[in-house]
Amino acid sequence: MKLVSSFPPSPHTFGGVLFNVGFLLFLLSFSSLRSSFATQIQFVNYASDTNLEKSLEKNVRELCHFIGAESVSAFSTSDGRTGVEEARRIVEEKLKELKFDSIKTFDLSKFHPKAHSVMVGEKVINKPSMLNVDFVDETLIPTVLFYNHYDTQPADGLWTESEAFPKSFEECASVDSDTGNVTKVKGRGASDNKGNLWAVLSAIEAYMAKKGNKPVRVVVLMEGQEEIGSPGLDVWMKKYAKQYLGNVDAAFSADGSTGDWNKNGVLTLGLRGGVDLEITVQNGAEVDLHSGSFGGAILNPIHALSALMASFHDPKTGKILVEGYYEDIYDFSKEEIDRMKRDFPSNKEFRKTASGGALFGETNVSVAEQVGVRPTIEFVGVYGGYVGDGIKTVLPNYASAKIVSRLAPGQNPQKSLRLLKKHVKKTALRISQGAYVSTVDSGFSNEPFLGQIDSVSNRVAKKVLTEVYDGIEPKVVYEGGSIPVMRMIQKYASIEPGLMAFSTKDNMYHAPNEYYSIDQFKTATRSYVRVLAEVSEFEKKGRSELELEVRRKARYVKEALRGGLNEAKKGLDPALDVAKESLKRGYDTFVDGIRHVTGKQKKEL
């Protein structure tokens, strides 16, 4: 039976009094909740650094265990799916430990054959007493969404599998030889995105542990295929975003990067989208041929592919030569471009983060623009012929190249892919009449994201980051990478999300020797705690209607208590009369006894 499906038929009963006393206690707790929404308190009260330091070792050990899960989403084999599922289970167990109110996992492979899973969890922290009473609506509690992903890039290059996915804390942690302190954790996904993900969970735990913090509702959205372009997530978001994310007041991706994380935060207002394409050139031969017997007379696919690859850019200006590729790009104002340049590292500093790589790009376009808001066509893999040690004198029968194109704000992925394929087809005919050219895309496709600097989420981010970095305001950046879910949240959850992540380019994410420093982890955790605190201060639309209902029922309680007490008094009055009469009789008996004893004593004397 529900506690308040209806009020008691008569308040003038002892049971009614007990009910109403309990209900009065609820009103007192709600009154405290109500006043807390209007009170500003300092960030330092939300979770003391002492508490965070005490739990640091536990949190870092848990993070290392998480990094050890081989969650490579690019592997669609059973082993690959097992690794991603292992990482998902580790996160799920942590959510259960934190007593999340609901945790749901959805298999996205029914939407896309290469997809894995998405998990959504929800918890009201510091839930007011008797929140399950019918007229108290949980949706009126301020709500924040955190997005993360638990999948990783493959561990190729100079890494061995044991180095990339350490199976012990000792293999994962780097220790300073002088101090003996753990300074960083290593492994594929340490920075992108497992470190930031675990910082979010650690922040939730820290906020829960601090007494006196205000109620806040947390929604976590975590997926297992971000590194392959989030296939299937768009379909899921279209179907479920309103149900699970529809009441969110502020939303943050903890996936992403920051600038000088130990000097200042960043507000990321833009992310590029992306599409992929693989081009294969064949010469019609069934096998590789002898380069002496056939070279010069039979088409070499590598020659044709090289010419085709060169046709995508103007060698003098660096401009993309694909017809129509710049048509739909968002036209940034001079003020916006000047801000990009101002908040971007110098060319020297930028090259340093790129381990000394040489600069390239369009003429008269700054590096800040080139990285953040201009499209690119990058060849990320080329193969054909013999690539082993030494030399093998063969003429290959095919050659292939993999392309990833980063899309600027305003570009549409489907249109951009059509333009790329059209360019390949047109150019291939011009290169060689004997070449067989084919194209295939893997489904990596996501829209660019363009945020608003004055959105609710970014206002929260600016306030939090300014506090964390001792009054230094965050820089405004446009990031060159892609996070597909950002645009999906905009479209389907009807909220402007922000980014708050603490990975840096020198963390070597997507490269060998990826790491995440302990100081980064601590800064991230403190920042996410402050986000929870800041959102808890929000005033929710509809609260006034709730307060009117509470006041109405408070009047009922007052009347019920008065009536119940009067009824009790009526019941006590006869008892008091009986007691009074009994006391009078007892007193008279006592006096008579004293008189009798006194008279007897006088007679004996």
For residue 569, the model assigns a pLDDT of 65
Token digits of residue 153? 């890039």
Check whether residue 85 and residue 189 sit in a common domain.
yes
Check whether residue 165 and residue 222 sit in a common domain.
yes
Residues 6 or more apart whose CB falls under 8 angstroms from that of 571 comprise none
For residue 272, the model assigns a pLDDT of 97
Lowest-confidence region among 47-56, 68-77, 303-312, 367-376: 47-56
Confirm whether 398 is domain-assigned. Answer: yes
Q: DSSP letter at 43?
A: G
Q: Residue 206 in contact with residue 51, Cβ under 8 Å?
A: yes
Q: Which pLDDT band holds residue 21 (cuts at 50, 70, 90)?
A: very low
Check whether residue 89 and residue 155 sit in a common domain.
yes
Calculate mean pLDDT across residues 87-93: 98
- Residue-wise pLDDT for 381-430, tens only, equals 999 999 899 999 999 999 999 999 999 999 999 999 999 999 999 988 77
* Closest to 480 in 3D by CA, of 257, 196, 312: 257
Q: Which pLDDT band holds residue 529 (cuts at 50, 70, 90)?
A: very high
Q: In what order do the strands lie in the sheet with 117-125?
A: 102-107, 117-125, 216-223, 143-149, 250-253, 498-499
Confidence check: pLDDT of 131 > 50: no
Check whether residue 60 and residue 72 sit in a common domain.
yes
Check whether residue 392 and residue 504 sit in a common domain.
no
CATH number of the domain encompassing residue 419? 3.30.70.360
Mean pLDDT over each residue of the chain, to the nearest integer: 84
What CA–CA distances, in Å, run from 473 to 207, 266, 436, 463? 24, 8, 56, 8
What is the maximal distance between C-alpha atoms in the chain?
Answer: 156
| Phi and psi angles of residue 554, each rounded to the nearest 5 degrees, phi first | -65, -40
Output the CA angle 44-47-48, nearest 5 degrees: 70
Choose the final residue of a domain: 426, 446, 466: 446
What is residue 137's three-state secondary structure? coil
For residue 212, the model assigns a pLDDT of 84
Q: Which of 107-111, 178-182, 541-545 has the highest mean pLDDT?
A: 107-111
Confirm whether 365 is domain-assigned. Answer: no
Check whether residue 403 and residue 291 sit in a common domain.
yes
CATH number of the domain encompassing residue 89? 3.40.630.10
- Residue-wise pLDDT for 265-287, tens only, equals 999 999 999 999 999 999 999 99
- Residue-wise pLDDT for 205-221, tens only, equals 999 998 888 999 999 99
408: amino acid identity, one letter: A
Residue 283's domain spans which residues? 273-329+375-446
* β-strand partners of 117: 107
Check whether residue 430 and residue 509 sit in a common domain.
no
**Strands (DSSP E) along 287-364, which ranges?**
289-290
Check whether residue 434 and residue 495 sit in a common domain.
no
Q: Residue 285 in contact with residue 397, Cβ under 8 Å?
A: yes
The Cα 131–Cα 120 span in angstroms is 22
Q: DSSP letter at 213?
A: P
Confirm whether 341 is domain-assigned. Answer: no
Neighbours of 580 (CB within 10 A): 10
Q: First-to-last CA distance in the chain?
A: 78
159: amino acid identity, one letter: W
The Cα 385–Cα 392 span in angstroms is 9
The H or E element that residue 445 is part of is: strand 445-446
Token digits of residue 602? 């006088």
Confirm whether 202 is domain-assigned. Answer: yes
Instruction: Convert 409-439 to b/e letters by CB count within 10 Å (16 or more is b).
Output: bbbbbeebbebbeebbeebbeebbeebebee
Check whether residue 102 and residue 211 sit in a common domain.
yes
Output the CA angle 87-90-92, nearest 5 degrees: 110
Start-end of H helices in 98-188: 161-164, 169-172
Q: Which pLDDT band holds residue 61 (cuts at 50, 70, 90)?
A: very high
Q: Which pLDDT band holds residue 162 (cuts at 50, 70, 90)?
A: low
Q: Which pLDDT band holds residue 49 (cuts at 50, 70, 90)?
A: low
Check whether residue 93 and residue 64 sit in a common domain.
yes
